[in-house]
Structures are given as C-alpha cells and as structure tokens.
Amino acid sequence: MHLADCPLDTDVTVLAVDPDCSACLRMCEIGLRVGSCVRVTQRGPAGTRVVAVGASRVALDAQTAARIRVAWDPAPVGAAT
C-alpha cells in the first residue's frame, strides 16, 4: 500500500521510499524514512495528503505520497518523531 491510499487516522510504518525520486533524501531528512511511524491526518485538494510524523505535520502532493510504500502498524509506535 502507498501513503496515497492510506485511510485517515491510521498508524502505518514506512517500508520504502522510491529511491528514484529527486527529493528522496529530503523526505528522509524531514522524517519520512524507512521505519518511521506515520499517519495520514487529512486528504486535501488534488490528492494532497497531510501526514503526522511524530508531533509535526507534513503536506505532500499526490505523486510524492504515491512514492512512499507503507504497511499497517501492528502496534502504535508514537515515540518516533
């Protein structure tokens, strides 16, 4: 499943970030990296997603959200910011 397809308010873990993406390193630096626990908090216009990364919120466009592969989180891991 990709971040773009995630239901709202559900904890998921990032499995992979498309390495071809030019902003791959920056996504990782902002907190969207393999292993982090994230949650889609809002679907905006034109497929935009707002994602909770720890206590902070990051907005992504539809294409970027489609580059992040995630899986259901078995147990909420809130501590990672």
Partner 1 sequence: MTSPCHDAGGGGILTADATSVALVGNPNVGKSTLFNALTGARQSVMNAPGTTVELHVGTWRDAGLQVVDLPGTYSLVPRTPDEEVVRDTLDARPGTPALVVVDATALSRSLYLLAQTGAARPVAVAVTMLDVARSRGHAVDLDRLRAILGVPVVGVDPRAGAGLADLPDAVRGARPLTGVPDTRGLEPLEAADRVFSWVDDVVTRLDPPAPAPVSRSDRVDRALLNPWLGGPVFLAAMWALFELTTTVAAPVMGLVDGLVVAVADAARAGLAGAPSWVTGLLVDGVLVGVGTVLTFLPLLAIIYVALALLEDSGYLARAAVLADRLMRVVGLDGRAMLPIVIGFGCNVPAVAATQTLPTARQRLLTGMLVPWTSCAARLPVYVLLAGAFFPEHAGTAIFGMYVLSLVLVVGGGLVLRRTLFRDVRREPLLIVLPAYQRPHLRGIARSVWARVHSFATRAGSIIVVTLTLVWVLMAVPAPGAGADAGAPAVEDSLYGAVAHGVAPAFAPAGFDDWHFSAALLTGFVAKEVAVGALAQSYAVADDSPAGLGEHLRATLDASSGGHAAAAALAFMVFVLAYTPCLATAAEEWRRFGARWTLRMVAIQLSVAWLVAVAVFQVGSRLGGAA
Q: Name the minimum Å distance from CB 1 to partner 1.
A: 20
Determine which residue in the list 15, 16, 71, 76 makes contact with partner 1, applying CB under 8 A: 76
Alpha-carbon gap, residue 77 to 6, rounded angstroms: 17
Q: What residue ranges in 18-79 does DSSP mark as E strands?
A: 37-43, 49-53, 56-60, 68-72
Binding to partner 1 by residue 23, rule CB under 8 A?
yes
Element (H, E) at 63: helix 62-65
What six digits make up the tokens of 38?
């994230």
**Range 37-56, binding partner 1 (CB under 8 A):** 39, 41-46, 48, 50, 52-56
Binding to partner 1 by residue 24, rule CB under 8 A?
yes
C-alpha 67, offset from chain centre: 9
Binding to partner 1 by residue 22, rule CB under 8 A?
yes
The residues binding partner 1 (CB under 8 A) are 9, 19, 21-31, 33, 39, 41-46, 48, 50, 52-61, 63-64, 76, 78-81
